[in-house]
A and B are shown apart, each in its own frame.
Chain A
Amino acid sequence: MKKVLVIEDNKNNMRLITKFLNKAGYETIEAETGEEGIRLALEKKPDLILIDIKLPGMDGLETTRKLKECNDIEAVPIIAVTSYAMVGDREQYLKEGFAGYIEKPLDPFTIIKEIEQIWKKSIQY
């Protein structure tokens, strides 16, 4: 079973995303902060990471930068989950090392498709 690490501080959002992923057949690992996310990433070696951009303390951008510096997990695709589009949008996200981004509010009917599409693309290249 493929493992997805979800780094998200909002409990409702966490429950929502993990439920969708579990029902679609993925195992989920939950982290509430960037620090915890890095620790769990190193420990559990997930196949994909979903990360909220707005996190307390170390934010999603910084966490992603740090994750990309870790030897074992540099190749794991990271998808940003954000409720507001950053300036420069997609290119900006790609530049920051993300495989892509999904926007909140999540569309419950397409969320899994969106995640899998970005995932597939990131493996192709």
Chain B
Amino acid sequence: MGVIDRDQEKALFEVKEFLVSIIGNAPYGIVAFDLEGEIILTNSFVIEHLGMKMSVNKAIGKNILDLTEKIPLLKTTIEKNMRKGRKKFNLPPLKINKRFMLVKGRSILNGTILVIEDITDLKSTEIKLEKQSKELSKANLKLQELDKMKSIFIASMSHELRTPLNSIIGFTGLLLQGLSGNIDEEAMSDLDIIYNSSKHLLNLINDVIDISKIESGKLDSHFESVKFDDVIEEVLSTVSKDAEKKDIKIKKKFPAGFIMVTDKRRLFQCILNLMSNAVKFTEKGVVELEVVKNSSVLKIAVKDTGIGIKKEDLPKLFKSFVRLDSPMETKTSGTGLGLYLSQKIMSSVFQGSISVKSVYGKGSVFTLSIPLNREV
């Protein structure tokens, strides 16, 4: 080791000043102390944020344990660390003068260095987020409750609506069958309108009930052995009246004597929906019901020669309460619930699907595909 000259001394001094100024102005607290706890180096961040009432220069030479008197957790941690000679320690956030400090300690050659970070902003964001997330889950719970209330409301409302309908449909039917005495032809056709309208209203109410059940996941289903012919006959007898009125010929093609395990009511509902749509949207021509069955799947296709569906309208078909603009709109009645319901029933009751092919102005084919794994 030689003697350093003045220039070298000056250069060293400058380097030291440079480093001291970096440390002094760092946005982190830095404090280094020796094995006895005597502070060798610190910066204004530490003085300010740990609440030490003195200048940086005055702090140097003081014992770290004396200066952390008011922060017991930090003091005892430093003490323990000095005693056991641990290499490093991390403290949980300390609250000092309403601010949150994160303190980390690391062993250096002959002492310890503490790095202190002000995490108040982070912490308050965290607290805010926590509060928001609590509020969100509260709001979510409330929404779920409201949704449940909505379903219960719809279910009980529909029940109440059906009670007077029982009388309207029943007594009109009684009159129509001449069971309450003779009725002339004109009154008979008026009664027919009452009867059909009340049946229509009943269907709407039933659709709404089914939808509320589907949306609350409570659609009931029960499977039993069903003669497929019976289902088809029931559908045909329901739609034949409307078809005759409009000069529509109904053709059918299906495997006779076929027995399947299915939910009869729901199957009937889906086929009827397609058939009555086909009749509704066809002025004259043919509505064809074709059923094809192989070992794993039953395909029920309903083909019409009606108005067809524009390509851009196809994706909207299966949404609830959607009725497409059509030249027949004013002439046809409906809620726009039928296909939505059929699709939901196909997927949730039968694990099946519904598909459509259509040429605008020419006609449409709707096909139900039902897996046959339940077949006996």
Contact = CB atoms under 8 A, between A and B. Distances in A.
Contacts of A105: 162, 165-166, 169-170, 202
A89 interface: yes
A23 to B, nearest CB: 5
A108 B163 contact: no
B163 A109 contact: no
A90 B166 CA distance: 21
Interface string A5-33: 00000101100100110010000000000
Interface in B172-194: 172-174, 176-177, 179-180
A109 B173 contact: yes
Contacts of A104: 162-163, 166
Contacts of A90: 222, 224
B171 interface: yes
B172 A83 contact: no
Contacts of B159: 83-84
Interface residues of A, number: 21
Contact of B170 (A16, A83, A85, A88): A16
A104 B167 CA distance: 10
A85 B163 CA distance: 14
A106 interface: yes
Given A20-B179, A23-B179, A108 B166 contact: no
Interface in A91-125: 91, 104-109
Contacts of B121: none
Contact of A83 (B166, B176, B177, B224): B166
Contacts of A107: 169, 173
Contact of B167 (A16, A20, A83, A91): A16
Interface of A is mostly: loop
Contacts of B170: 13, 16, 105-106, 108
Nearest to A83: B162
B220 interface: yes
Given A19-B174, A105-B166, A91 B222 contact: yes
Contact of B222 (A12, A83, A84, A88): A88
B166 A16 contact: yes
Contacts, number: 56
Contacts of A83: 159, 162-163, 166
Nearest to B202: A105
A108 B162 contact: no
Given A10-B163, A13-B167, A83-B159, A108 B177 contact: yes
A1 interface: no
Which residue of B166, B177, B180, B224 has the most chain A CB atoms within 10 A of its CB atom?
A: B166
A115 to B, nearest CB: 14
B177 A109 contact: yes
Given A105-B162, A105-B202, A12 B173 contact: no
A10 to B, nearest CB: 7
Given A83-B162, A83-B163, A89 B173 contact: no
Contact of A12 (B167, B177, B224): B167
A90 B225 CA distance: 13
B214 to A, nearest CB: 15
B171 A16 contact: yes
**Nearest 8 interchain pairs by C-beta:** A108-B173, A105-B166, A16-B170, A12-B167, A23-B179, A105-B169, A89-B222, A104-B166
11 contacts: A12-B166, A19-B180, A83-B163, A85-B220, A91-B222, A104-B162, A105-B162, A105-B165, A106-B169, A108-B177, A109-B173
